[in-house]
A and B are shown apart, each in its own frame.
Chain A
């Protein structure tokens, strides 16, 4: 059992606050992805959980044990680093065995575990090589095998796929998901790649400016962003936002069209590009750029002077300069408070 509880953790570097009071609970065997742009504090949070960074305040609990005062090796964790950190002076075998040797496991056990994890990661034929003789993808496999060999309660991964080329990343992503699900460890995975986050996570914690903005299941984060930032960060292309004028009694006017919306206050209209379709009545969009993407076509347009994107079926013949009327799917419309930037339920 390795539930991870982060209580009120903050990290300041001099005058700069990398992490503002963060609270997060990660269930046993859960795959949690910390997602955000660079500088959002996701790596700092991971390093605090690992023990490579000391929090300025707050507590970290792993498996019911407070660990924030303990060195990394007493936390029952293993880690995969962004640049792999596969020791160049050791063979692949000794790299995978490193943690086991430090733990003074008997030689037979070391060999058994190295063999098993090497087979799992398909690198059993590389055991005698040095890291200088390996490709990036192979080094990545060694780094993962080294973590798995520890049979840890928690595996921490710091952008493990970011240095691989696109094709390899896709392949490793699927493989990691399978291997980690089987290993039954709790996983915390840091990435700035939303597709990676979506495809791997049980839950995603979207981070921005040192805060966790939303922590929820991938579809929830995608469909119901808790804040404007989440909508604008997740989704490719991201959500469209348009200003709305209150007409009273929960009626709102957006780009000359009337919608049902929040009962009172101020609000901003939001819709995902794929939740639009050409119709008789809808938002008047002036097409600027048309990008065919195979199954879909990405249309960049202007609505009420605002940039606006729509992903449409590719059988529509659209050309720049054309005027489209785009109807939003009613139950996919979201509203945000322009003041707090939070979603209005």
Chain B
């Protein structure tokens, strides 16, 4: 009986996941591959044929490609600094973690309040005499500004989650490795690249996968800052599901996001693989 007990205790949660996650997930898969009750790939061909698809696809990929590495570098830098602190460490962690408590839509709205025509940025520039009338920063003529604003909002919002994971990971590395590297001639940078980073691989895996998944699901921030001017995959899924009422194509979009997430997660797992016996 004691041997079965842990499984019994996990049973409700497992059932819950099976019923409310995998079942709807299965439905979406079926939805994406059927049309009018027939098995078909038509949803996918119609999705890719639409002029917005490749824009949405590449916007999403580019956002992830820019935001995630920038966040990784920032999170590593911040974590290294936090790691060195003797006092006030937890206080700083709390401050850094504040954006984590804000929903992505709220984050988008905060940055909208900065960039919009009557926003803070316009007020400041006007106050400084740089401009004589409010500028339209987030218009469809200047897509790159919207793109940049989304990048900023995403970096502001979600760097902390990576940092928290990395700080925890750095805390697990015994100090002696760094000291040994120091005694055996490694400079500060070499200690970081040759000791800290390799030993941090498990944490980097977690942080990167979590962050990449979030990046492919970017939605509310984009909607708040650009409406549908800057199409992204998740936005298109929403559009097809609710505006255009085509659940088949919406399901196909969802499958594309899933495919990207799985593919990149596998790449991260592969690149940051730690051989057996090489763990701390």
Q: Which residues of chain B are near A150, meaning CB under 8 Å?
A: 184
Evaluate contact between A85 and B182: CB separation under 8 angstroms. no
Rounded to whole angstroms, the CA-CA distance of A90 and B276 in the bound complex is 12
Partner of A102, one of B176, B190, B277, B278: B190
Rounded to whole angstroms, the CA-CA distance of A78 and B185 in the bound complex is 9
Evaluate contact between B276 and A72: CB separation under 8 angstroms. no
Evaluate contact between B185 and A102: CB separation under 8 angstroms. yes
Give the shortest distance, in Å, between A83 (CB) and chain B (any CB). Answer: 6
> Which residues of A86-145 are within 8 A (CB) of B?
87-90, 98-99, 102-103, 129-133
Partner of A89, one of B183, B190, B278: B278
Q: Which residue of A lies closest to B179 (CB)?
A: A52
Q: Which residues of chain A are near B186, meaning CB under 8 Å?
A: 73, 98, 102
Evaluate contact between A99 and B198: CB separation under 8 angstroms. no
Rounded to whole angstroms, the CA-CA distance of A79 and B180 in the bound complex is 7
Evaluate contact between A130 and B275: CB separation under 8 angstroms. yes
Q: Check A81 for interface membership: any CB of B closer than 8 A.
A: yes
Evaluate contact between A99 and B279: CB separation under 8 angstroms. no
Partner of B176, one of A51, A81, A131: A81
Partner of A85, one of B174, B185, B198: B174
Give the shortest distance, in Å, between A86 (CB) and chain B (any CB). Answer: 8
Q: Which residue of B lies closest to A132 (CB)?
A: B277
Q: Which residues of chain A are near B181, meaning CB under 8 Å?
A: 87, 98
Evaluate contact between B184 and A78: CB separation under 8 angstroms. yes
Q: Check B195 for interface membership: any CB of A closer than 8 A.
A: yes
Chain B window 268-280, contacts with chain A (Cβ cutoff 8 Å), 1 for yes, 0 for no: 0000001111111
Q: Which residue of B lies closest to A98 (CB)?
A: B184
Partner of A52, one of B182, B190, B198: B182
Partner of A71, one of B182, B198, B199, B277: B182
Q: Which residues of chain B are near A50, meaning CB under 8 Å?
A: 183
A73 and B185 in contact (CB under 8 A), knowing A83-B174, A130-B277, A132-B278?
Answer: yes
Q: Which residues of chain B are near A98, meaning CB under 8 Å?
A: 181, 184, 186
Q: Which residues of chain B are near A73, meaning CB under 8 Å?
A: 182-187
Q: Which residue of A lies closest to B195 (CB)?
A: A87
> Which residues of B213-245 are within 8 A (CB) of A?
none
Q: Check A146 for interface membership: any CB of B closer than 8 A.
A: yes
Rounded to whole angstroms, the CA-CA distance of A83 and B186 in the bound complex is 19
A77 and B277 in contact (CB under 8 A), knowing A85-B177, A87-B177?
Answer: no
Evaluate contact between B276 and A132: CB separation under 8 angstroms. yes
A85 and B180 in contact (CB under 8 A), knowing A73-B186, A102-B185, A103-B185?
Answer: yes
Give the shortest distance, in Å, between B176 (CB) and chain A (any CB). Answer: 4
Q: Which residues of chain A are near B280, meaning CB under 8 Å?
A: 88
Q: Which residues of chain A are near B185, meaning CB under 8 Å?
A: 73, 99, 102-103
Rounded to whole angstroms, the CA-CA distance of A88 and B186 in the bound complex is 17
Rounded to whole angstroms, the CA-CA distance of A83 and B6 in the bound complex is 35
Chain B window 172-209, contacts with chain A (Cβ cutoff 8 Å), 1 for yes, 0 for no: 00101101111111110010000100110100000000
Q: Which residue of B lies closest to A86 (CB)?
A: B180
Rounded to whole angstroms, the CA-CA distance of A129 and B187 in the bound complex is 26
Rounded to whole angstroms, the CA-CA distance of A48 and B250 in the bound complex is 65
Rounded to whole angstroms, the CA-CA distance of A169 and B219 in the bound complex is 62
Give the shortest distance, in Å, between A160 (CB) and chain B (any CB). Answer: 12
Q: Which residues of chain A are near B199, meaning CB under 8 Å?
A: 87-89
Of listed A78, A85, A90, A131, residue having the most chain B CB within 10 A: A85
Q: Which residues of chain A are near B184, meaning CB under 8 Å?
A: 73, 78, 98-99, 102, 146, 150
Give the shortest distance, in Å, between A100 (CB) and chain B (any CB). Answer: 9
Rounded to whole angstroms, the CA-CA distance of A105 and B276 in the bound complex is 29
Q: Which residue of B lies closest to A91 (CB)?
A: B278
Evaluate contact between A77 and B183: CB separation under 8 angstroms. yes
Evaluate contact between B177 and A79: CB separation under 8 angstroms. no
Chain B window 244-278, contacts with chain A (Cβ cutoff 8 Å), 1 for yes, 0 for no: 00000000000000000000000000000011111
Rounded to whole angstroms, the CA-CA distance of A103 and B185 in the bound complex is 7
Evaluate contact between A52 and B183: CB separation under 8 angstroms. yes
Q: Which residue of A lies closest to B190 (CB)?
A: A102
Give the shortest distance, in Å, between B182 (CB) and chain A (any CB). Answer: 5
Name 21 interchain pairs, CB-CB below 8 A, sorted by A.
A50-B183, A51-B182, A52-B183, A78-B184, A85-B179, A85-B180, A87-B180, A88-B199, A88-B278, A88-B279, A88-B280, A89-B199, A98-B184, A99-B185, A130-B276, A131-B277, A132-B276, A132-B277, A132-B278, A133-B277, A146-B184
Q: Which residues of A approach B to under 8 Å, CB–CB? A: 50-52, 71-73, 77-79, 81-83, 85, 87-90, 98-99, 102-103, 129-133, 146, 150
Q: Which residues of B approach A to under 8 Å, CB–CB? A: 174, 176-177, 179-187, 190, 195, 198-199, 201, 274-280
Give 9 nearest A-B pairs by CB, closest first: A102-B185, A99-B184, A132-B277, A85-B180, A130-B277, A85-B176, A73-B185, A89-B198, A133-B277
- Given known contacts A73-B186, A77-B183, what 15 new A-B pairs fall within 8 Å (CB)? A52-B182, A52-B183, A83-B176, A85-B174, A85-B179, A87-B180, A87-B199, A88-B279, A89-B274, A90-B278, A99-B185, A129-B277, A130-B275, A130-B276, A132-B279
